[in-house]
């Protein structure tokens, strides 16, 4: 039996109960349907087959979840960091135990290739373990004495928070947001993307099994314009953490304005990978291919613009064309597959519309440029050449396995092209000149830069973008800066206290 067949057989077992029971909400510790009984369907992008019906939460369900989170907040906030750490480690352990189930379900629900998603659950477990270990010190502050006062700072959890996650790599991104919120002492209402709700329900089951108190974590499925909007407008929700497209981020800011919501946005990107003539070209080629065609190109940090110095552009692009044509498109549960189907027919239509745009703008489709097959939402890995910086294919986030190549003359032109977009999430610089690497990295308008490397995540570092790519940072203490409020207590000191602190000389 092939590995694909093994994966399909295992998947059938995992999905059997989902098909019969459907995917429900979790509110105040109870798995339940939507209040009005409404449902929607989640279908696999592999063949458009029904996976399960999903509870279609609306404002009434969000209200119940927000009230449950508010009621659970005082006790959870008062729970010691050590106790929270223990529960979060239990969640991580259970994620690891169900890693195969999570990976296979994620592949089937999103179309992502198994070779990449096989580790998604383990990365989610790592997120919980990392923030669990930070929980005991999350509230720590500083002692800042003056001549007359002792200032003591500390942090307190902000309150119930809303977490809205996207359809690409949904499990890992959900844990990336939810783990620090819980570690900080916040309670959570999670609204997953309607296109990929399957593994969010698995996470809810795990949190319940791990002993997370009722109401600390709540899950409400539904559409963005209904459940999502109700969450961003709810007065009991103090902050919204959102991953998704920039236009939706703008809408959330408007919706949360009346209740002065704190927001954290990880939004879109049109990230440049800049290859100078002195770079290690083989390594740069490997990284460029990986960062656009892995995860179906449906990743915010994908290197969707390739900037290559003119002196090496013909040779580099010739090799890139060969590599692009060799990328393996196939069933997402086949370990040999590199690109699976896109998330939905609507998204496939959006991505393929750029093929006509490229032709109309005068670019060359050097590889790909068509739908792949007639079953499922597959798109050929695509490379545009002969592009200009002002073209839509070089300005807009396509969010698929599509790369636009742009030549540049020198360092100044590379920076001009790289920065001349609305986005500023990530950048990749390839050069063996360390001085140039530092200059270009410092001048790039992006929140994260990798030099001579693809995207390698390190949990303690800040993750986030500038311009239309987001607000705020995740990772390490930056996550706690969002989920917690700074508090300062200033204690007036008497003369005896001041003398003991040594701020005044003896006898004063």
- Give the phi and the psi of residue 234 in degrees, each rounded to 5: -70, 130
Helical packing angle, 81-97 and 198-209, nearest 10°: 130
506 is catalytic: no
First-to-last alpha carbon distance for the chain, in angstroms, is 87
* Among 420, 417, 423, CA closest to 468: 423
Strands of 401-495, DSSP E: 402-408, 423-424, 426-430, 448-451, 466-467, 470-471, 484-492
Q: Active-site residue among 101, 194, 233, 266?
A: 266
Sheet with 262-266, edge to edge strand ranges: 30-32, 25-27, 217-219, 188-191, 161-164, 239-243, 262-266, 470-471
Q: Other C-beta atoms within 10 Å of 315: how many?
A: 11
Which residues are CB-contacts of 418 (< 8 A; sequence separation ≥ 6)? 272, 274, 305, 307, 427, 444, 445
**With contact defined as beta carbons under 8 Å apart, do 215 and 236 qualify?**
no
Q: How far is the C-alpha of 347 from the C-alpha of 142, rounded, in Å?
A: 49
Question: With contact defined as beta carbons under 8 Å apart, do 185 and 76 qualify?
Answer: yes
Residue of 300, 338, 380, 397 marked active site: 300
Nearest to 343, CA basis, from 334, 333, 355, 332: 332
Q: Which of 186, 46, 153 is nearest to 105 (CA)?
A: 46
Phi/psi of residue 102, nearest 5 degrees: -60, -45
| Annotated catalytic residue 300 | yes
CA distance 367 to 360: 17
3-state secondary structure of 429: strand
The set of catalytic residues is 266, 300
């Amino acid at each position: 039996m092939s590995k694909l067949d093994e994966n399909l057989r295992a998947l059938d077992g995992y999905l059997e109960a989902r098909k019969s029971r459907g995917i429900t909400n979790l509110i105040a510790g109870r798995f339940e349907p939507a209040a009005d009984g409404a449902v929607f369907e989640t279908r696999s992008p592999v063949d458009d087959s029904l996976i399960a019906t999903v509870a279609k939460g609306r404002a009434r369900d969000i209200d119940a979840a927000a009230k449950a989170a508010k009621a659970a907040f005082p006790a959870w906030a008062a729970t010691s960091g050590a106790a929270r750490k223990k529960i979060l480690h239990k969640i991580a352990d259970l994620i690891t135990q169900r890693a195969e189930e999570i990976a296979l379900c994620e592949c089937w629900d999103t179309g992502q290739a198994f070779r990449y998603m096989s580790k998604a659950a383990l990365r989610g477990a790592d997120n919980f373990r990392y923030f669990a270990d930070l929980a005991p010190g999350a509230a720590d502050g500083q002692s800042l004495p003056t001549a007359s006062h002792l200032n003591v700072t500390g942090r307190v959890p902000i309150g119930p928070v809303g977490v809205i996650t996207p359809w690409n790599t949904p499990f890992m991104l959900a844990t990336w947001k939810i783990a620090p919120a819980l570690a900080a002492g916040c309670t959570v209402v999670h609204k997953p993307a309607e296109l990929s709700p399957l593994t969010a329900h698995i996470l809810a089951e795990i949190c319940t099994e791990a002993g997370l108190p009722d109401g600390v974590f709540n899950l409400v499925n539904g559409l963005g314009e209904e459940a999502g909007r109700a969450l961003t407008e709810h007065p009991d929700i103090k902050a919204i953490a959102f991953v998704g497209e920039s236009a939706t981020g703008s809408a959330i800011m408007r919706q949360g304005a009346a209740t002065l919501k704190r927001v954290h946005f990880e939004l879109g990107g049109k990230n440049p990978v800049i290859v100078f003539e002195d770079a290690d070209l083989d390594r740069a080629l490997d990284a460029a291919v990986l960062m656009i065609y892995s995860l179906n190109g449906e990743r915010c940090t994908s290197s969707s613009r390739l900037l290559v110095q003119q002196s090496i552009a013909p040779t580099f692009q010739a090799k890139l064309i060969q590599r692009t044509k060799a990328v393996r498109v196939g069933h997402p549960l086949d370990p040999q597959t590199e690109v699976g189907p896109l998330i939905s027919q609507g998204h496939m239509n959006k991505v393929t519309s750029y093929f006509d745009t490229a032709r109309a703008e005068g670019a060359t489709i050097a590889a790909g440029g068509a739908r792949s097959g007639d079953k499922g939402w597959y798109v050929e890995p695509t490379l545009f050449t002969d592009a200009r910086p002002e073209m839509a294919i070089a300005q807009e986030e396509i969010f698929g396995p599509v790369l636009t190549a742009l030549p540049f003359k020198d360092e100044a032109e590379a920076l001009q092209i790289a920065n001349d977009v609305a986005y500023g999430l990530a950048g990749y610089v390839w050069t063996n000149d360390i001085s140039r690497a530092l200059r270009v990295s410092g001048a790039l308008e992006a929140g994260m830069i990798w030099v001579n490397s693809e995207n390698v995540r390190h949990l303690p570092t800040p993750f986030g973008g500038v311009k239309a790519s987001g607000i705020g940072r995740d990772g390490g203490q930056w996550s706690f800066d969002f989920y917690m409020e700074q508090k300062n207590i200033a204690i007036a000191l008497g003369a005896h206290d001041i003398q003991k602190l040594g701020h005044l000389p003896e006898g004063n």
